[in-house]
Amino acid sequence: MVSGYLVGFFKLLPEGASEILSRFVFMIALPALIFGSLSSITLAEFFNWRYIGALGGGMLAMFCIGMAVARIFFPGNLTALSLHGLTAMYSSTAYIGLPIILTIFGDAGKVPGIIGAIITGLIFSPLAILLAEIDKGRGTNFSLWPPLFQVFSRPPIIAVIAGLSVSATGISLPASAVTFFDLLGGSFVPCALFAAGLFVASCSIRGATMEISWLVFAKLILHPLITWWLAFRVFELEGVLPVIAVIQAALPSGVPVFVLAHQYKTFVTRSSATIVVSTAISVVTVSALFILLS
């Protein structure tokens, strides 16, 4: 990430390099990693409802808390409120979390790491889009199908469906296909972290100081605390699962929040500033969590 940031800061790559590399990560490397991983496991390993409950429950709680706080202290339209809630809970599970988890935990962290990336994209992005479209279409005839179809037709989601289908049918992939997906999936970790650094270098941190400070606190402190309680006390997860759940909750705000904000021309500066500040501070907070949970 630091390498990507320095390359972006000194403009060693042409303008738009961050977007191109991010598209490669999202459209090719991540789907290859997801498909190759899920096609080789059982459905029971993926549908670990206690883990999903702990991780997803923390995300849902933070989304609701974020919207409630925004409604009281930072009022705006429904689109702004939903993007505020999304920023408070949307961890960078794909671009930062999954590479870190794979590096620290190896194969043991692959499936829970992928589950975290899927939950954010499959549940909470569509939820924010739903609220934004309702706000956008008030008083007019509108359809939710186009934006929702756009979400569910994304390559990582298709890779999840394809990988679980192969797993359910018991099909064994040829060795050449396994090697192909391993090679592409192997590029995910370095490219995702480098792309995240490039993105941070291009962002502005100007904006509403109080709101950004609250969002950074909510994302890096409050979210992992709620998830810790769910993972260790409520669902009583075992092994590395509770640690991975808390780490995923403690990650900085993810780039897709900025993408949605840019799409709806709302909350753009505040979302990008929260991503930059939370990413910088998370170097310390996430490292501290690994030590505390070791």
pLDDT value of position 134: 80
pLDDT value of position 125: 83
Q: Which residues of the chain have pLDDT under 70?
A: 137-144, 147-148, 151, 204-207
pLDDT value of position 206: 65
For residue 64, the tally of other CB atoms under 10 A from its CB is 13
pLDDT value of position 35: 92
pLDDT value of position 227: 97
pTM: 0.84
pLDDT value of position 166: 92
pLDDT value of position 52: 95
pLDDT value of position 140: 63
Place of tokens 């060693």: 12
Is the separation of the CB atoms in 149 and 133 below 8 Å? no
3-class DSSP state of 290: helix
Distance from chain centroid for Cα 150:
17
Domains parsed from the chain with CATH numbers: 2-292 (1.20.1530.20)
What pLDDT, in 10s, does the model give residues 226-257? Answer: 999 999 999 999 999 999 999 999 999 987 88
pLDDT value of position 141: 66
Task: For residue 280, give the nearest of 251, 245, 256 by alpha carbon.
Answer: 251
Separation of alpha carbons 226 and 91, rounded Å: 14
pLDDT value of position 65: 97
> What value does the CA radius of gyration of the chain take, rounded to a whole number of Å?
19
pLDDT value of position 287: 92
pLDDT value of position 84: 95
